[in-house]
Amino acid sequence: MFKYMKYELKGTYKFMLAIIFAVLFATTGIQFFINNKINDARNAMIMNYLPFLMMMFMLIIFGALIAATIFIINSYRKELYEDRGYLTFTLPLTGRQFLGSKLVVALFWYIAIAIALVIYNGILGTILFGNGWITQLFRVFNDYDFGIIAINNSIISILSSIITMLLVYFSITLSRVSFKNTKIGGIWFILFLLFKWVYSFLNHWIIIKLSDVDNLHSYMTSAISVPSIIFSIIVGIGLFLGTSYLIEKKIDL
């Protein structure tokens, strides 16, 4: 699997590095913009701009992740629908090794984008604005159980993104196997929305019925639903194995 990952990385790094540079460039612009604003109005503090900063930050990271996702989805589709599949699927590669490579490299890039953004902006921010923002951030984290909420949401987000990626791969693969003659490019997306809706519905139901969470609000703020996490892991594994099986045994090029 690591052998194939090498080629998957080689094929994707140019675009991904471009995204990272674009994003670093954009956030640099924002930081300097704020820097100017602070220097102009002598009494203005960085703290006034913190919410604005965070929002822009979120938007940019969101945009970058969307661009990366579109690229990753496209590259997976190309594998199943274009001539390059004649190379990939004649390599002595199992379905799991193939899918594993795709998934790991995709996650790697997501993490790389996020880390690059955070570290770069952290350093740049410290250079421009000093250490103050770090202590302020810690205060925010400690004060409002923000920490727990953040960790909760992080775990859920990470699991959710992995499930989403697997759902995408599964939908694309399934539509390639079942609807081979259909030229409609968007069938996989409809399948994806369908499966995603089913998954979300079941997940919701599990959270409400099977956890000691009285309503969704407290789930969001403090409780972790272990059954939900287990459910997601099972679904994830099922999707992985199912897609691998389809790739290895059912694909007709």
Partner 1 sequence: MEHIVEIKNLTKSYNRKRALNGLSLNIEKGKVVGILGPNGSGKTTLIKILAGILRQTNGDVIIDGHKPGVHTKSVVSYLPDRNFLYDWMKIQDAIDIYKDFYVDFDQKKANDLLKFMKLESDMKVNDLSKGMKEKLNLTLVLSRKAKLYILDEPIAGVDPVARDQILDAIINNYEENSSMIITTHLVRDMEKIFDDVVFLSEGDIILNGNAEKLREEKSMQIDDLYKEIFG
Pick from 111, 115, 125: nearest CA to 30: 125
Dist. CA 163–CA 107, nearest whole Å: 12
Least distance from partner 1 to the Cβ atom of residue 87, Å: 4
Per-residue burial over 37-65, b if 16 or more Cβ lie within 10 Å, else e, is ebeeeeeeebeebeeebeebbeebbeebb
Least distance from partner 1 to the Cβ atom of residue 240, Å: 18
Three-class SS of residue 4? Answer: helix
Cβ within 8 Å of residue 172, ≥6 positions away: 73, 76, 77, 80, 188, 192
Rg of the chain in Å (alpha carbons): 22
The residue (of 212 and 252) whose beta carbon lies closer to partner 1 is: 252
Dist. CA 175–CA 189, nearest whole Å: 9
Cβ contact 222:197 at 8 Å: no
Token readout for 233 is 């892991």
Could you list the residues that contact partner 1 (CB under 8 A)?
A: 3, 6-7, 10-11, 14, 83-87, 89-94, 181, 248-253
Least distance from partner 1 to the Cβ atom of residue 249, Å: 7
Please provide the DSSP assignment of 8-60 as one string: HHHHHHHHHHHHHHHHHHHHHHHHHHHHHHHHHSTT--HHHHHHHHHHHHHHH
The residue (of 60 and 102) whose beta carbon lies closer to partner 1 is: 102
48-54: long-range contacts at Cβ-Cβ below 8 A with a sequence spacing of 24 or more? Answer: 50/133, 50/136
Least distance from partner 1 to the Cβ atom of residue 134, Å: 41
The residue (of 134 and 253) whose beta carbon lies closer to partner 1 is: 253
Least distance from partner 1 to the Cβ atom of residue 151, Å: 39
The residue (of 97 and 171) whose beta carbon lies closer to partner 1 is: 97
Dist. CA 1–CA 98, nearest whole Å: 7
Token readout for 218 is 């407290």
The residue (of 135 and 181) whose beta carbon lies closer to partner 1 is: 181
Least distance from partner 1 to the Cβ atom of residue 156, Å: 35
Least distance from partner 1 to the Cβ atom of residue 88, Å: 8
The residue (of 35 and 75) whose beta carbon lies closer to partner 1 is: 75
The residue (of 204 and 250) whose beta carbon lies closer to partner 1 is: 250
